[in-house]
Amino acid sequence: MPNAGGYFTTFPQTAMNQVICPDLDTLTAQALMLIQKRVFAAIDQQGRATLVLAGGSTPRRLYEHIATQSWPWHQIHLFWGDERFVPPDHPDSNYRMVRETWLDRVTFPAGNIHPMPTVPLTPEAAAAAYEQELQAFFALKPGEFPVFDVILLGMGEDGHTASLFPQTAALQVCDRAVTVGHKGNEPRLTLTIPTLNFGRCVIFMVAGANKAHAYRQVTAAQPAGEQYPAALIRPQGGDLWWLVESTVLQH
């Protein structure tokens, strides 16, 4: 992949690609290039692309940049990696964040947008509903997991990713694609570890010196496992990219 300002290393032992970027703008540009390449390849090969979106703040600028592109929106389907358990118009909603930064700025087919349901369902019922939506969309047989073309993820300073938080029950769920995660007592919906690990291309976007400790733990030769859940994301057949702002490595 061309490195417009980032430099590229591969960790062969973990099939992990690392791109170190001097700033968030460069990281965003790298992410845009990589996503475009993989989305367009998926469309060429199968007539559509499935893209899982990350929440939080790091990808905001990326979504704003994607909104300026002339991509074939009708051939792209959007899903969410996790969602806070709030109404879709709530300030904390990851769905609302994507609407504001991207979807309200382009003509995106409503049927191609697959947000995670939240209230008034219970968290358990919402997880089950999203599971059924994925089963229908991917025409899954019992026991099969969805295979997404691109999965975007962030990482918190505690090493969580999506809403898979350290030492929580969600980390043990391996028979479903979607489950209820917990940030303390706050319920969230999240894709499960096996679902993330079936991704064809999993891309972490990590910025901020406060992520440095977790990043060291996650990328260590002996990853830290459940204390830092992002370490559990090792795509089996797909490739793994860590797009990292240089401040993450300087502390």
Residue 46 CB, shortest distance to ligand 6PG, in Å, is 26
Residue 245 CB, shortest distance to ligand 6PG, in Å, is 11
Instruction: Compute φ and ψ for 169, nearest 5 degrees.
Output: -65, -25
Tokens 């997880």 appear where?
127
Residue 171 binds ligand 6PG (CB under 6 A): no
Peptide bond connecting 120 to the previous residue in cis, omega within 30 degrees of 0? yes
Residue 223 binds ligand 6PG (CB under 6 A): no
Residue 187 binds ligand 6PG (CB under 6 A): no
Strands (E), the chain: 7-11, 16-21, 49-53, 76-80, 82-84, 113-114, 150-153, 178-183, 186-191, 201-206, 239-245
Q: Out of 50, 58, 192, 197, point to the residue binding ligand 6PG (CB under 6 A).
A: 58
Residue 182 CB, shortest distance to ligand 6PG, in Å, is 13
Residue 158 CB, shortest distance to ligand 6PG, in Å, is 9
How is residue 229 written in tokens? 């859940």
Residue 142 CB, shortest distance to ligand 6PG, in Å, is 28
Q: Which is nearer to ligand 6PG, 100 or 140 (CB)?
A: 100
Q: Out of 162, 196, 201, 224, point to the residue binding ligand 6PG (CB under 6 A).
A: 162
Q: Give start and end residues of each alpha helix (H) in 170-209.
A: 193-197
Residue 54 binds ligand 6PG (CB under 6 A): yes
For ligand 6PG, which residue has the nearest CB?
154
Residue 26 CB, shortest distance to ligand 6PG, in Å, is 16
Residue 57 binds ligand 6PG (CB under 6 A): yes
Residue 154 binds ligand 6PG (CB under 6 A): yes
Burial class (CB in 10 A: 0-12, 13-18, 19+), 223: middle
Distance CA 33, CA 91 (A): 29
Residue 192 binds ligand 6PG (CB under 6 A): no
What part of residues 74-93 is at the interface with ligand 6PG (CB under 6 A)?
A: 81-82
Distance CA 145, CA 150 (A): 15
DSSP string, 77-89: EEEESEEESS-TT
Which spans of this chain sit near ligand 6PG (rule: CB under 6 A)? 54-58, 81-82, 94, 154-156, 160-162
